Amino acid sequence: MRQEFEKHLQIPKDVQGAWDEPMVFMVSKAGLKMCLWYGMLHVVIEGWRDAKLADPVIARLLASPNTELLRRFRNGMFHFQKDQWLPTKLSDFFQPANQTVEWFRSLTDELQRYLMAEMKRLSATRAIP
């Protein structure tokens, strides 16, 4: 999903400046793919916790208040919000003071690092017929 988001991140000339408006960005191809990617990452976090996986770098990232903001974002994205078009569950995640974009990318990278290493380790211990 990350690659799909980044593929559509290039701002088309006909909407330059319009992406400054959050709702315009959220309904763009890049915005929709970003929201899907962000929402799906929280599902990975839930699986990480349920499986009781451990890694010190990931533990530090998950200790951030941004984890709760991401949970709320996921809920706001995937559950009907009758009171608002852009509910605070979504907009709170992007407040500049939270540095959520940097945190989110770091968490994505670290989860990928850990899970890829774990898949390689498991593959090496199993005989392939």
User: pLDDT tens, 11-41?
Assistant: 555 555 544 565 677 777 777 888 888 899 9
Q: Could you give phi then psi for residue 9, rounded to 5 degrees?
A: -70, -25
Residues in the chain: 129
Residues 6+ apart with CB under 8 A from 104: 38, 41, 66, 70
Indicate if the pLDDT at residue 4 is higher than 80. no
Indicate if the pLDDT at residue 102 is higher than 70. yes
Spatial separation of the C-alpha atoms in residues 7 and 105, rounded to whole Å: 16
Written as six digits, the tokens of 29 are 């191809």
Long-range contacts of 15-18 (CB under 8 A, 24+ apart): none
